[in-house]
Every structure is written in C-alpha cells, then in structure tokens.
Amino acid sequence: MDSLRAKLDRKKKPEQGIELQPVSPSAQVKPLLTPSGSAAPMVVIKPQRGPPVTPKLLAAAIIVFLSTLCSLIAFASPYWTKSFDATRNEFLNAGLWESCYYKYRHPRDYYAKEYIGCYWIFSWTMYRLDDWLRPPWFQAVQAFATLSFIAIMVSCILMIAYYLCLKVRSAYQTLMSTAIVTLVSAVFMGIAVIIFGVRGDDRDWMPRPEFNYFSWSFGLAVVASIFAFVSGFILLFEALALRRNTDEEKTNFPKAPRPN
C-alpha cells in the first residue's frame, strides 16, 4: 500500500526543477517522460524566427540590385566610347562587344572593305581587324567586366536566398558570402573602368581619338562599381554584427536545470 500511495503522489506532483511555461497557439509542444515512466510537464519549443532584416540590410539589397542593373546595361550597351556628332567621324561608338562605323576603311584591311553600321566584335565581318579591335588591354577590360557581372548576379541570388529561403543558423554564412562576392564584383569592375579610362583614347585603337569621349555606358560601369563597393561594405558590417549578436545570445541563453 505504501509503494502504491507513493506512486500516486509522484503522478500528482510535477518533477522538481522543471519550470512550466504558458503554451502559445503557434508553439510546438512535445511530450516528455520521466525516468519512472510518468508524464512530465509540457515543454514548450518556440518556433524559430527567420533571419533578421534591418534597415541597413534593406538599403544594401536595393543598392545591390541597382548595381546589377547598371552593370547589365553597361555590359550589353555599345556606348563606352563615342565620337562627337558634329565631327562627322568615321567611327561612331563602341562598347565591349559591338562597334559602329560610317563608311570606315581600316588601313590594315587589304580588301579595303567599307564598314557601315554596327558589328559584333566576334563576327566574321570583323575577324580581319581582331588584332586592332581587341588589343590585350581591351581583352582585359572584357574579362574583368564579365567576371564582375557574373559576381554581381551571384550576389543578387544570395540576397534573394537570404530573405526568402534561409534559416537563422545559415544567415551569417550567406550574408558574409554575399558581402565578399559583392566586393569582388566591385573590384573587378573598378579594374575594368580604370584600364578603359587610361587606354580608351589610345591613338592605336579607335580613329581620331581627340574627337571621342567616354559615353554613358562607361559612366554606368563606374556607378555599378561604386554601388557594389557601398553595398558590399554594408553587408560586411551587418554580417559581423549578426555574428556578434548570435554569439551573445548563445552565451546568455539559460541552461535547463537538471532534474533531481
């Protein structure tokens, strides 16, 4: 009788050292059993929140998308350099992948072909002028601009993944990766615009460079590089702040008491 009464008393009294918490409708509740086999008080497991979104992160995301848009337009448009309209130059404009002419004959073209209109740089029409049209420094500009464009696109994908698809435990890694990729894109585009700015008016390249100027596509490339630098540093600082806050939460998180 005494052992039966003791078992009934244990069922009526909750285990010592376990604190009861109110159960919210959105919480997930899991039943636990004590070593003796009796039901323990309900333990509340709070639902995990998504990654934090601060005003700085929102501003960085907007700047990243603006940088991507500027980089895309600069990458595809043929207006990195252009001749003044009043000069009636045979050369009209050129970009990374296309150049335009009006009744232009190149002295190294033994066929004396007259170029009228816009031509893709890698077309069969322009292959005889490839050494003149794509000197080593221009190939470097194309390479760095391409790498920058790929990096900023990856940065956009990572930003979308951060806001829509990720959990808190992977937020820091994604945010830090986004910051690094964005800064890499900024560096590559910065190198591209510096090289083009130094060599774009070379007399061995486009004809009559004194009548040419850097046009709006080149300006968009400069803006894309600046935007990528700004957003990259914002993301870097926010990632470090997120890491610091996460470490503080782990340090201050109360440990569950051991049952007697």
The 10s digit of each residue's pLDDT in 139-185 is 999 999 999 999 999 999 988 888 776 555 677 888 889 999 999 99
Q: Mind listing the pLDDT tens digit for each residue in 19-40?
A: 445 545 544 545 555 555 555 4
Q: What is the largest CA-CA distance in the chain?
A: 116
The whole-number pLDDT of residue 109 equals: 73
The whole-number pLDDT of residue 244 equals: 77
Q: Nearest CA to 166 among 216, 239, 108?
A: 239
Write the DSSP string, 157-193. Answer: HHHHHHHHT--GGGHHHHHHHHHHHHHHHHHHHHHHH
Helices (H) then strands (E): counts for the chain:
6, 7
Contacts of 96 (CB under 8 A, 6+ apart): 75, 78, 80, 121, 141, 142, 145
pLDDT at 118 over 50: yes
The whole-number pLDDT of residue 20 equals: 46
CB 175 within 8 A of CB 238: yes
Share of the chain above pLDDT 90, in %: 39
CA distance 252 to 258: 18
The whole-number pLDDT of residue 44 equals: 47
pLDDT at 6 over 80: no
pLDDT at 14 over 60: no
Lowest mean pLDDT segment, chosen from 183-187, 228-232, 254-258: 254-258
**How far from each other are the two terminal CA atoms of the chain, in whole angstroms?**
25
Lateral strand order in the sheet of 91-94? 115-120, 98-104, 91-94, 81-83, 212-214
